Chains A and B, each alone.
Chain A
Amino acid sequence: MALIKKHTEQVVEELPIFSTLEEAVDFFESCESSDDNDCLTKKDYAIESISKFNGGGEYLVSYINNETADKKVSTKIASVISNMDSDDAPIEEIMELLKLDNAYTRNLAISILRDFGDAIKYYIVKFLIGDDRDLRIFAINVLGDVDFAESRDMLVELLETEEDINVAMTAVDYMGEIGEEEDILLLESLKDRFSGDFYAEFAVDSAIKLIEG
């Protein structure tokens, strides 16, 4: 036995080329992944192909949305969608996933959307001023990640009136990073708005310390 000293040609199964979405979907559905490595490879290939067809993105999202979805397959789908052009990506459909109770699917959707940055700015603004507090938190997390030039202004505006302590503190965390000296007064005022709350005091003080550098 030894170190192999030549280039060895690998025997690799030929994978079909699909001319329609249906063909690609059939191939995708032709095996049960569970723990079968060959099946996973087939599905990976099918997912890449499906994403290139019209309507493919929507099909992929519907798979993630299924209770019985295989996590490895879902992760691959998430990665493929993340790399789609924002014009082709099924962004509306992914937004729908944010309303689900399933923490895993919701977090997966968030991780996909985070990669679209600018393309979802419109939605981020919508969430920030919306009624759903979980979506406000999500929107703030995206702001922190994508660095819109307007991120700080948006957070300041939110903090001026935010009543939910968890939403406010999520914003405060980011203010620590992107806030300016002139924001310190606003931050201090949050301690009054949420007076007596240990976490609010702690988070605000931490943020102010970071801003003061």
Chain B
Amino acid sequence: MPLVIFVDDSETALASTRMVTNAMPIEVKQYTEAQTALAEIKAGMKPDLIITDLNMPVMNGLEFLQALRAVPSTSRTPTLMLTTETKAELKQQGKALGLTGWIVKPFNPAQLKQAITRVLRLPA
């Protein structure tokens, strides 16, 4: 099953995404810090999709994205930003780092499900 990882410093946000992914044919791993996720990726974990918040302490979503692109196994992994931010400049920065999509919080569960289904090419 494809592996999707979520990174968000809010436990509630992570719990809410679990509600959405519960019945989906995917494996899910969640992290409250980007660096822990990064360490596991460098140690061999291979996510098929990475969904991350932007505003997080210590390492924010864009920095995480940048670090991911520097690791060979995740240099091209699809990534979605799931954030309250809407500023064009931030979206530009994300795009320049190969971000696949930008979902604004609060997210619509159907929209999130659809985005994951589309990116992973899951059966509709």
Direct A–B contact present (CB less than 8 angstroms): yes
Query: Do A103 and B15 touch (CB < 8 A)?
Result: no
Least CB separation from A173: chain B residue: B12
Say yes or no: A198-B108 contact (C-beta < 8 A), given A103-B90, A104-B60.
yes
- Residue A79 lies at the interface, judged by CB distance under 8 Å to chain B: no
Report which of B10, B16, B55 forms a contact with A107, defined as CB distance below 8 A.
B55
A-side contacts of B16, CB under 8 Å: 198-199, 202-203
Q: Give Cα A33–Cα B91 distance, bound, in whole angstroms.
A: 30
Say which size band chain A's interface belongs to: 20 to 34
Number of interface residues of B (CB under 8 A): 24
Least Cβ–Cβ distance between B76 and chain A, in angstroms: 23
Q: Are A103 and B55 in contact (CB under 8 A)?
A: yes
Q: Which of A103, A110, A199, A206 contacts B107 (CB under 8 A)? A: A199
Whether the pair B10, A173 counts as a contact (CB closer than 8 A) is yes
Asked if A97 is at the interface (CB within 8 A of a chain B CB), the reply is no
Min C-beta distance of A106 to chain B, whole Å: 8
Interface: A197 (CB within 8 A): yes
B89 within 8 Å of A by Cβ?
yes
Q: B62: CB under 8 A from chain A? A: yes
Let me know if B87 and A101 touch, CB within 8 A: yes
Are A198's CB and B12's CB within 8 A?
Answer: no
Task: Give the top 10 A-B pairs by smallest Cβ distance, nearest first.
Answer: A199-B106, A166-B84, A202-B16, A198-B109, A103-B60, A173-B12, A203-B12, A101-B89, A165-B106, A107-B60
Q: List 14 A-B contacts (CB under 8 A).
A: A103-B54, A104-B60, A107-B57, A165-B106, A166-B84, A166-B106, A169-B12, A169-B106, A173-B10, A198-B109, A199-B107, A200-B106, A203-B12, A206-B15
